[in-house]
Amino acid sequence: MPSPLTEKQTLEIGKSNKRKYMLEKLSARIFLLCALLSVLSLLLIVGFVFYKGSHPFVAEGYSFIDFVFGVDWVPSEGKFGIFPMIVASVFATFGALIIGVPIGLFTAIFLAEIAPKSIAKIISPAVQLLAGIPSVLYGVFGLAIIVPFLQNNLGLAKGQSLLAIILVLAIMMLPTIVTVAETAIRAVPKTYREGSLALGASQIGTIFKVVVPAAKSGIMAAIVLGLGRAIGETMAVILVAGNSLIIPTSLTDSVRPLTTNIALEMGYAFGTHQEMLFATGIVLFSFILLLNFVLAKISSKGGN
Amino acid sequence: MRFIKEATIGLLVLFLAALLSACGIGNDSETESSNDSKGTISISGSTSVGPLAEKLAVKYEEKNKVNIEVNQIGSSAGITNATSGVSEIGMSSRDLKEEEKANGLNEVVIAYDGIVVVTHPSNKVKNLTIEQVKQIFTGEVTNWKELGGDDMEIVVVSREDGSGSRDAFQEIVGYTSGELVRSSIVASGNGNIKTTVATNKHAVGFISFEYIDHSISTIKINGVEATAENVLQQKYSLSRPFLFVYKEEHLTNSGQQFIDYILSQEGQAIVSETGAIPIK
């Protein structure tokens, strides 16, 4: 027969409960603090870049329009025009998309729909490993293999070119596209495929007419993420770009994308020159923001 | 909610305390050192000589109780400051002009800076004039055959804007950043230029002396080989002196001792460490 709790016992239980709740609350606060840290970092970075980058336009009388559409970049003479770099960044990124998206998409389809488990087991980790290679190694690979290859086989005076950037970026964006697209394709309900196959459609027909359209929003997200990876890439690009300050008229011209302009000159820059490099960062940041906005739109559509 | 407030306040207090104590320590040490020091040597001038002077100053301050301030504001401004006495010593990476010498300035060469034009080892062109170098880098000459080489396009490789070597090279050769041929490859760092030139038989670039090796071929300027010896004998023209300039009446004892230190074996060892050419 259990005796009723004495007053002392009740008090002790209450105490231990209190301690438990305190611990609970404390851990919640610690998690909150960690979460706030990333928000804080974002604010600091954005704030710093915008503060530094906007200074020449606010306080020194430079025109932002001239900055974005100017074709001359001669910091030592006070000429800051990044139009050639914007063109280079856009061309390089979309060029990489043209090569990278089909390859990435087909790889994802193969992994999710066609490949036998034994083969997928080899390819899947390989693709993921590709994502883990430091970008500077892609650059070294590009400089040692792709640049000489282009130089020798296309009879060019220099292999550092838009084409070299496109090839390197196409390889670099593959893992992003493959992983995200594969997940999207796998998420398509089995009943869709079964329905299509039951109606007599072939496997490939089913994939392209039923599965891929059903996974459309996920695949679009994969492409936008790949795009983001490509436009922000610096270290790999700096080695193969050639960094010339011209508006490219052919694939074999050497160009300087926005990212490499910052990385290349930040080391020695000071004063207005440095602030203009931050301003270059603002333009780059705007591109990335735009991409994220598009991505959010796509995701919300997918939800509906 | 109250907990958050308390935690925030606690953190803030901690942070402020840390900040204050950091400032406090900073102030203490500053006042201490300035109290102990016998004087301050103010040096201003060239941004090319600046890093070298900074390094020498740090080493010198370790051993001597003196405060050395180095301001990198450009050669001309440094010379003006030395003339007017605003700075005790001025730094210049170019020779003094006649009118500057006329003001009674003394100059001491503390080091030399040498730059060499390099090409792919297979390139037949081994000798150029300064004028030809200028034509190459401004895009007036675009084919090696115009310079006595094979019939192939010239690929110009340059350092990035803001680099001291690039400024020096352009200043000596006589073209501006705006005149640099637009299609030139821009690489950051001497090593990067060397690799680019070593792997492209069309390429021409410029690097500091210390980076010369067998992967690239060096170009003679007006028939003079790029060696430290030729620089010291003032035969090789792609070079410039690093000068300290001062007026006798402004120079203090500690200033004179610092200059002596730089010219000593120990000082010159630091000079060659930073990649400049020592004077002996």
| B6 interaction partners in chain A (CB closer than 8 Å) | none
Could you please report the per-residue DSSP string of B233-248?
TT--SSEEEEEEEE-G
0.80 surpassed by pTM: no
User: Whole-angstrom Cα distance, residue A48 to residue A68?
Assistant: 20
| B14 interaction partners in chain A (CB closer than 8 Å) | none
Q: Give the minimum alpha-carbon distance from B219 to chain A in angstroms, rounded to a whole number.
A: 20
Note the helical H segments in B37-119: 50-63, 75-84, 98-101
All domains in chain B, ordered by first residue: 40-112+241-274 (3.40.190.10), 114-239 (3.40.190.10)
Q: What is the pLDDT of residues B207-260, one digit of tens each?
A: 988 788 899 999 999 999 998 889 888 899 898 889 999 998 889 999 999 999
Domain boundaries of chain A, sorted by first residue: 84-303
Residue B32: pLDDT band (50, 70, 90) is: very low
- ipTM for this prediction: 0.78
Q: Using H for helix, E for strand and C for coil, what is the string for A6-55?
A: CHHHHHHHHHHHHHHHHHHHHHHHHHHHHHHHHHHHHHHHHHHHHHHHHH
Paired strand residues for B186: B158
User: Whole-angstrom Cα distance, residue B271 to residue B280?
Assistant: 11
- Residue B113, SS3? strand
User: Whole-angstrom Cα distance, residue A151 to residue B13?
Assistant: 62
| B2 interaction partners in chain A (CB closer than 8 Å) | none
Q: Give the minimum alpha-carbon distance from A26 to chain B in angstroms, rounded to a whole number.
A: 9
Place of tokens 């390094």: B55
Chosen for mutation from A26, A244, A273 (greatest number of chain B CBs closer than 10 Å) is: A244
Q: Which of B4, B7, B177 sits opposite A74 (nearest CB)?
A: B177
Residue B36 has pLDDT above 60, yes or no: no
- Cross-chain residue pair B178–A74, CB shorter than 8 Å: yes
| B177 interaction partners in chain A (CB closer than 8 Å) | 74-77
Per CB distance under 8 Å, which residues of A are interface residues toward B? 25, 29, 32, 72-77, 79, 143, 147-148, 151, 157-160, 238, 242-246, 253-254, 256, 263-265, 267-270, 273
Please count the helices (runs of H) and the strands (runs of E) in chain A: 14, 2
User: What confidence score (pLDDT) does residue B73 get?
Assistant: 81
- Cross-chain residue pair A267–B162, CB shorter than 8 Å: yes
Chain B residues 174-193 within an 8 A CB cutoff of chain A: 176-178, 182-188
Q: What is the phi-psi region of residue B174: left when phi exceeds 0, alpha when psi lies from -120 to 50, beta otherwise?
A: left
User: What confidence score (pLDDT) does residue B141 get?
Assistant: 94
Residue B271 has pLDDT above 80, yes or no: yes
For residue A85, give both structure tokens: 């770099």
| A274 interaction partners in chain B (CB closer than 8 Å) | none
**Between A and B, how many CB-CB pairs are < 8 A?**
80
Residue B2 has pLDDT above 50, yes or no: no
User: Whole-angstrom Cα distance, residue A242 to residue A164?
Assistant: 10
Q: What is the pLDDT of residues B195-217, one digit of tens each?
A: 899 989 999 999 988 788 899 99
| B164 interaction partners in chain A (CB closer than 8 Å) | 268
Mean pLDDT in residue range B100-115:
88
Which residue ranges in chain A fall short of pLDDT 70? 1-5, 302-304
Is the Cβ–Cβ distance between B235 and B188 less than 8 Å?
Answer: no
Q: Which of B177, B178, B184 sits opposite A244 (nearest CB)?
A: B184
Burial classification of residue A28, based on how many CB atoms lie within 10 Å of its CB (0-12 exposed, 13-18 middle, 19 or more buried)? exposed
Q: Is the CB of B122 inside 8 Å of chain A's CB atoms?
A: no
User: What confidence score (pLDDT) does residue B175 get?
Assistant: 93
Q: What is the mean pLDDT of chain B?
A: 84
User: Whole-angstrom Cα distance, residue B90 to residue B216?
Assistant: 37
From A249, which residue of chain B is nearest by alpha-carbon distance? B183
CB environment B94-120: b (16+ within 10 A), e (fewer):
bebeeebeeeebebbebbbbbbbbbbb
User: What confidence score (pLDDT) does residue B22 get?
Assistant: 46
In degrees and rounded to multiples of 5, residue B89 shows phi and psi of: -130, 140
From A152, which residue of chain B is nearest by alpha-carbon distance? B200
For residue A92, give both structure tokens: 């390089």
Question: Of B109, B117, B211, which Cα lies nearest the Cα of B170?
Answer: B117
DSSP assignment, residue B218?
E
| Strand pairing class (B40-45; B89-92) | parallel
- Cross-chain residue pair B155–A29, CB shorter than 8 Å: no
Does the domain at A84-303 match CATH 1.10.1050.10? Answer given as: no
> Which of A69-78, B15-24, B130-139, B185-194 bottoms out in mean pLDDT, i.e. has the lowest?
B15-24
For residue A12, give both structure tokens: 């002790």
Residue B119 has pLDDT above 90, yes or no: yes
User: Whole-angstrom Cα distance, residue A278 to residue A236?
Assistant: 20
Is the Cβ–Cβ distance between A140 and A172 less than 8 Å?
Answer: no
Residue B6: pLDDT band (50, 70, 90) is: low
Q: What is the pLDDT of residues A57-106, one digit of tens each?
A: 999 889 999 999 999 999 888 899 999 999 999 999 999 999 999 999 99
Question: What H or E segment, with its residue span, contains residue A160?
Answer: none
Q: Give the minimum alpha-carbon distance from B233 to chain A in angstroms, rounded to a whole number.
A: 31
Residue B1 has pLDDT above 50, yes or no: no
User: Whole-angstrom Cα distance, residue A213 to residue B261?
Assistant: 77
User: Whole-angstrom Cα distance, residue A265 to residue A234?
Assistant: 13
User: Whole-angstrom Cα distance, residue A114 to residue A119?
Assistant: 10
Highest-scoring range by mean pLDDT, A109-113, B12-16, B158-162 = A109-113
Q: What is the pLDDT of residues B259-268, one digit of tens each?
A: 999 999 999 9
From B151, which residue of chain A is nearest by alpha-carbon distance? A157
- Cross-chain residue pair B184–A157, CB shorter than 8 Å: no
CB environment B245-262: b (16+ within 10 A), e (fewer):
bbbeebbbebbeebbebb
Chosen for mutation from B73, B159, B184, B186 (greatest number of chain A CBs closer than 10 Å) is: B186
Sign of the Cα torsion A138, A249, A280, B182 reads positive
- Residue B97, SS3? coil
Q: Is the CB of B257 inside 8 Å of chain A's CB atoms?
A: no
- Cross-chain residue pair B161–A265, CB shorter than 8 Å: yes
- Cross-chain residue pair A77–B185, CB shorter than 8 Å: no
Residue B128 has pLDDT above 50, yes or no: yes
Is the Cβ–Cβ distance between A272 and A56 less than 8 Å?
Answer: yes
Q: Give the minimum alpha-carbon distance from A192 to chain B in angstroms, rounded to a whole number.
A: 50
A72-to-A85, A270, A283, B105 alpha-carbon distances in Å:
10, 19, 17, 40
Question: Of B55, B51, B43, which Cα lies nearest the Cα of B163?
Answer: B51
- Residue B151, SS3? coil
Find all residues with CB under 8 Å of B232, minimum gap 6, and list them: B112, B277, B279
User: Whole-angstrom Cα distance, residue B174 to residue A19?
Assistant: 78
User: What confidence score (pLDDT) does residue A304 get?
Assistant: 46
Q: Which of A29, A73, A148 sits opposite B4 (nearest CB)?
A: A29
- Cross-chain residue pair A77–B177, CB shorter than 8 Å: yes
Is the Cβ–Cβ distance between B279 and B262 less than 8 Å?
Answer: no
- Residue B106, SS3? strand
Roughly what angle, to the nearest 10 degrees, separates helices A162-186 and A216-232? 150
User: Whole-angstrom Cα distance, residue B72 to residue B94?
Assistant: 15
Is the Cβ–Cβ distance between A113 and A211 less than 8 Å?
Answer: yes
Burial classification of residue A155, based on how many CB atoms lie within 10 Å of its CB (0-12 exposed, 13-18 middle, 19 or more buried)? exposed
Residue B20 has pLDDT above 80, yes or no: no
Q: Give the minimum alpha-carbon distance from B131 to chain A in angstroms, rounded to a whole number.
A: 22
User: Whole-angstrom Cα distance, residue A212 to residue A70?
Assistant: 43
Q: What is the pLDDT of residues A41-65, one digit of tens each?
A: 999 999 999 999 999 999 988 999 9
Q: Is the CB of B153 inside 8 Å of chain A's CB atoms?
A: yes
- Residue B71, SS3? strand
